[in-house]
Amino acid sequence: MSKEKSNSADSRIADAPKSTGVYIMKDKNNRVIYIGKAKNLRSRVQSYFREKGDGRLSVPILKQKVSSIDYLQTPNEKKALLLEDKLIKEYQPRYNVELKDGKRYFSVKVTLNEEFPRVFLTHQRKDDGAAYFGPFSSSGSARKMVKNLVEKYKLRRCTGVKPRKDGPCMYEQIEGCFAPCEGKFSVEEYKKNIEKILIFLKRAEQMELE
């Protein structure tokens, strides 16, 4: 994946590459207002600035607000789709409607803001101190990956910021959890495993986008 320099309003179409990728539209304050994907970036961007746009009601308003466009080229359409989804979840552009609520692909969330972090799948990304990886194109593979990580490192599965207070659950009984609720595993040891998981997820995310 390669990145093209940001284009001024006068050259936003002429500079668009003809390759597959993602386009990021920004307003005069450099805020991201729309993100889209295309098999041919130049052709797709040109469609916005035709007299009638591309038929969508919001396009005439959008094209008046666009001041610059960034282009991110990808090797194929699948990668463009995943990158588009990831960026929309990250920036939450005002004029993205179909993907804005983030219900298409799973990301993996690691709750780094918790004493004993959890690892699970989510459709949404929030500014909550957690680490997010993905999105991943295969929900089945994503579920299997998280399941394997949780089982391998015996992470806690109880919900909430802190481990449960009413004693260990069945996972401790079948040796599927280190039971931090019982003080059987230190914070330091637990977080060493989380660091290993973060490295693994970062690689998995990069492989998804390559």
> Tens of pLDDT along 49-72?
776 555 555 667 777 888 889 999
At residue 34, φ and ψ (nearest 5 deg) are: -160, 140
pLDDT at 82: 87
**Which residue did the predictor score with more confidence, 73 or 159?**
73
- Burial class of 197 by CB neighbour count within 10 A (0 to 12, 13 to 18, 19+): buried
pLDDT at residue number 13: 74
Read off the pLDDT of each residue in 162-178 and give the average, rounded to a whole number: 69
Q: Is the predicted pLDDT of residue 103 greater than 60, yes or no?
A: no
Among all chains, which residue has been given the structure tokens 């929030």? 126
**b/e code 171-194 from CB counts within 10 Å (16+ = b):** bbeeeebbbbbeeebeeeebeebb
All domains of the chain, ordered by start, with CATH? 2-91 (3.40.1440.10), 106-209 (no CATH)
Which of the two residues, 90 and 178, has the higher pLDDT score?
90
C-alpha to C-alpha distances, 10 to 13, 41, 145, nearest whole angstrom:
8, 17, 46
d(CA 170, CA 53): 58
pTM of the complete model beyond 0.95: no
